[in-house]
Structure 1
């Protein structure tokens, strides 16, 4: 599903970037080579980043590394 229509950023893009970017939605967009335009997506993008980071934080360390490599 597209989260940011202006930049064509999908939920899967954000979830993958959450593993390598530690910042907020705007910082994560920057790692994707984008920047927010209208800003309507930032709250939802932030929620997705928080969810993904919490999920990965609860994995055991070996699995966490596998998740990073898989992406």
Structure 2
């Protein structure tokens, strides 16, 4: 699933960032050397990160 259309970030990318220690969408963007643009992906990215943190 595509999470961020503006930056072409997929769900698997966000999950990998969370597994690597990112705790917020902003940290995930930074770790991929990208910047949030429109912000519509933030809530979805947050939910994915929270899922990964709960599963850890």
Taking structure 2 as the reference length, the TM-score comes to: 0.91
> Partners of 2:22 and 2:30 in 1: how far apart?
12
Structure number with the bigger relative contact order (C-alpha 8 A, sep ≥ 6) is 2
Aligned residues: 56
Deviation at 1:22, TM superposition (A): 3.1
Which protein is richer in helix relative to its size? 1
Unpaired stretches in structure 2, ≥5 consecutive residues: none
Give 1 or 2 for the bigger CA radius of gyration: 1
Q: Using the alignment, how far apart are the partners of 2:15 and 2:34 within structure 1? A: 15
- Segments of 4+ moved more than 6 angstroms: none
